[in-house]
Amino acid sequence: MSGLRELVVPWAALAWLLRMAVGGLLLYASADKIMNPQDFAVIVKDYRLLPDFLVNIVAIWLPWFELVLGFCLFTDWWRQGALFLATALLAAFWLALIVNYFRGINVNCGCFSSSPSDDAAPMLWYIGRDALLLCLPLLAYEAGRRARAQDA
């Protein structure tokens, strides 16, 4: 019975699908930030979690980090590292939003757009959405593990 269940769950395909979803998400998220680094730096600063000297450095690097992660997940290149870093990145975003929610700071998420007027929503919406997004790489990791066990 358990053998039958393993047969009908295509873990490898599911892991691939989830990796594509996370990769696509990261590629999409990086595009606008790379195009508008000044605006993204303003959003990073408004989070008020980093010392001033790190704001521009993070604003320059983070969108490219997302781009490279998205590329790796899409092409299955350095998959383990990319999946680990994608999980860490989404967890860091999620924690930053939670910290600011409890500090009473309502920031523009800057998740998919660097424009202050776009993407404006209540903090709890951002926190809920990021929690769901965080599930994607975790599920991809688990599906990958089960796919390897299935192959063994």
For the CB of residue 2, give the shortest distance to other proteins in the complex, in Å. 25
> Which one of 4-12, 21-29, 101-109, 130-138 is the stretch in contact with other proteins (CB under 8 A)?
101-109
Site for other proteins contains 61 (CB under 8 A): yes
Site track 28-47 with other proteins (rule: CB under 8 A), x = hit: ---------xx--xxxxxx-
- Give, to the nearest 10 degrees, the angle between helix 52-75 and helix 37-47: 110
Site for other proteins contains 27 (CB under 8 A): no
Applying CB under 8 A, which of residues 25, 26, 29, 69 lies at the interface with other proteins? 69
Question: Residue 139's closest CA among 72, 76, 87?
Answer: 87
Binding site for other proteins (CB under 8 A): 37-38, 41-46, 48, 52-53, 55-57, 59-61, 63-65, 67-69, 72, 78-82, 84-85, 104-108, 116
